[in-house]
Structure 1
């Protein structure tokens, strides 16, 4: 198998603003693995404020220890290949995810199947929410109305910008503007204190804002604080940055820190670990969604294929590639309003890099 890496920087049509950062491009390392006739694709996004992994680091990991671990292995031995990828280095989950997905994609192509079909799915589309970037109330109201007009009915609002009272007012204004039907979920990106979180969430509950869930209200390591919040509000709490792998999810479960978990390939290391996390969450009564970093149609396509085969309990958070002006690859998934249409071609449906 030949492993190649490709650095891409895809501009966004609108800046993406959260409590942690402002993004104008999706910077990723694309990985291709070829058996001489078929090529599988995967992606490692650069997200300094979440995973801390750089493109240079991911590239070094893929081309160094991971490539070395796979050297001489036959492409049909997927189970052994995935085991070697996970054992090749400590951490480096984005790099591992890129190679894990590329190996799955290659295996599906060699069998003449779509990736979602290879994973066991019979569906052809998956729904997603869409994020409203952090901003003032007027900008968020305008964005909310625009996204409803675009066909989305689940909106995610970025909060946690340092002023819980202002967060409440922004959310109240959005709900007032869009009416009662669209679902509204919040993502604080670790930006609240535990007391501010409870104050803001209770105010929204009392005001009838009908919030579906609140994602990662406090810093990732503060499981006691998140459990304290979960015990004091009626709105479900979703763990994101607190959960990378199985050990993290077990800790969340033991603390009673959240009602749901957000599984992301670049956090956990690929499709294999993601399936384990989804199964563990289900066994312990936690809800789940699958999300993505700011990444392209390759990474989001793999996450969508996962959801198609392993359904989650709520609409997923897979709008990242929707933000791109143009895909860095040819083929793959496509958006139709809030629906992601899965490809009909083999694997991820990606046929190569856009020139």
Structure 2
């Protein structure tokens, strides 16, 4: 039985500013939650602050966790199949708070059974977790062509073979930015674009078409148009050869169903901070796969804790390819004792039970 819930704010400076078409940030700002049981076992979760995407704040997430989510969690059984639905039903929206509670619940359950988080998640869906590191891309913040090219070369030297280029800040110069990156790293590095809703449908078709004609060799283009513009997203998909990925257009299962129904995307980026944790993410990834969509697990600007949960989800389902889990790499250091470790593009998952986080680093 869950007997306690505790929250703490954690702030970790980034190695450099993270800039997209939607926002700029210089630090990871997140709310860490700990759930404890009658045996003194603790599970960890986090609720990242992402004002411009999910609308979640540290204050709002804390109020949600300390209020209605505490009411449904304390006294509840440590069984995600029984308790996780209570978390999802307890409040409307508050995706980050639900993410924190849900991850902590699964972490606690995994620790109680002596399984890693990946093994625990795999057991829930009748799968066998893969072993070894999970691969991630790395994001190049929006910037001028020369700066992007320099950053791309540096990341490639560090072992990243998949780069995610932030565009959408200026459709008139985005082609130059991407071609500068391609020229700098050569043909063997995989390039993904992420416009973060920065174009309209007409601009997206023009920019992507010019890049295709120039031989930019793009793997995919993520969220080229506004979140609610599924007609525009479908229009882009019909008029370009490059696969189109939905990100902000898909928060939850209902959003995913609409994307599938309208044929608006080739693939989807499922993020725990958008959907509310591991429980809904498992369902969304299963549905997306059943309908033939490409599947990626991504992250917001969260800490090693949220990234560790996302990486465990990838390992649990055996999802191939490079995922979008570089947020912890952007942090100057991990604020936790234990947990995942970055080695260039590889995220090493711990062998210990759950997320294997045992505390916060003293600062």
Q: TM-score, normalised by structure 2?
A: 0.96
Does the 8 Å CA contact 2:304/2:334 hold for their aligned counterparts?
Answer: yes
1:156 to 2:158 alignment: no
Q: TM-score, normalised by structure 1?
A: 0.98
Does the 8 Å CA contact 1:156/1:187 hold for their aligned counterparts?
Answer: yes
In structure 2, list runs of 5 or more residues that go unmatched: 123-128
Cα drift, residue 78 of structure 1:
2.7
Question: Match of 2:71?
Answer: 68
Match of 1:309 among 302, 308, 316: 316
Match of 1:125 among 133, 138, 141: 133
Measured in 2, the distance between the counterparts of 1:135 and 1:291 equals 22
SS in 2 for 1:165: coil
SS in 1 for 2:172: helix
Q: After superposition, what is the alpha-carbon deviation per residue over 1:106-164, rounded to whole angstroms, capped at 9, x for unaligned? A: 01111111111212213131000000000000100000000001110000000000x22
Does the 8 Å CA contact 1:287/1:312 hold for their aligned counterparts?
Answer: no
Q: What is the aligned residue count?
A: 353
Question: Match of 2:87?
Answer: 85
Q: After superposition, what is the alpha-carbon deviation per residue over 1:31-78, rounded to whole angstroms, capped at 9, x for unaligned? A: 111114211101110000100011111011111001101232232x33
Cα drift, residue 165 of structure 1:
3.0
Cα drift, residue 344 of structure 1:
1.4
Q: After superposition, what is the alpha-carbon deviation per residue over 1:246-273, rounded to whole angstroms, capped at 9, x for unaligned? A: 1000111111111000000011011110
1:291 to 2:298 alignment: yes
Measured in 1, the distance between the counterparts of 2:141 and 2:337 equals 27
Question: Match of 1:57?
Answer: 60
SS in 2 for 1:113: coil
Question: Match of 1:46?
Answer: 49
Q: After superposition, what is the alpha-carbon deviation per residue over 1:1-59, rounded to whole angstroms, capped at 9, x for unaligned? A: 21100101110011101011111001000111111421110111000010001111101
Question: Match of 1:216?
Answer: 223
The 5-angstrom pairing of residues 1-355 of structure 1 reads 1-35=3-37, 36-75=39-78, 77-120=79-122, 121-161=129-169, 163-312=170-319, 314-355=321-362
**Superposition RMSD in Å:** 0.9
Measured in 1, the distance between the counterparts of 2:155 and 2:74 equals 47
Q: After superposition, what is the alpha-carbon deviation per residue over 1:253-301, rounded to whole angstroms, capped at 9, x for unaligned? A: 1111110000000110111100111011111111010000001010000
